[in-house]
């Protein structure tokens, strides 16, 4: 009996009911769309970082991530690289140098004169 009365009450005002139903449908669609869009963005971001920045594996000194000191290099990097390149399961190997630094020059006027 109560479900029958509730059903009649819903359709007593058709305009109100349709507005509510459409707003629920649009809200759910927008949520699904935004979640899918966000998931695609995150997957793309992770893929780009792996491909262009960090790669799948990095080999460096244990303390390097703390200080990024130049002196914390891998002393036998060429041997490590050759060993990795010999493995048939590894697609590619590259050696990279990561440095932090600042550049300062007192020759700003020389560049300005050279460009004129």
pLDDT in tens, 100-112: 667 666 665 555 5
Question: 45 pLDDT exceeds 60?
Answer: yes
Q: Do the Cβ atoms of 68 and 100 come closer than 8 Å?
A: yes
Residue 58 reports pLDDT greater than 90: no
Question: Cα–Cα distance between 55 and 51 in angstroms, integer?
Answer: 5
Give me the torsion for CA of 91, 95, 100, 103, rounded to 10°. -120
Over 70: is that where the pLDDT of 114 sits? no
Q: Residue 84: name the closest of 65, 57, 62, 49 by CA.
A: 57
> Which is more confident, 112 or 94?
94
């Amino acid at each position: 009996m109560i479900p029958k009365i509730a059903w009649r009450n819903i359709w007593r005002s058709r305009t109100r009911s349709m507005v509510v139903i459409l707003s629920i449908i649009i809200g759910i669609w927008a949520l699904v769309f935004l979640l899918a869009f966000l998931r695609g963005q995150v997957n793309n971001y992770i893929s780009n970082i792996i491909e262009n920045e960090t790669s799948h594996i990095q080999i460096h000194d244990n303390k390097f991530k703390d200080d990024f000191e130049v002196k914390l290099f891998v002393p036998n990097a060429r041997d490590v690289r050759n060993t990795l390149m010999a493995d048939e399961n590894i697609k590619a190997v590259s050696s990279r140098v990561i440095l932090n630094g600042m550049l300062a020059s007192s020759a700003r006027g020389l560049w300005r004169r050279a460009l004129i």
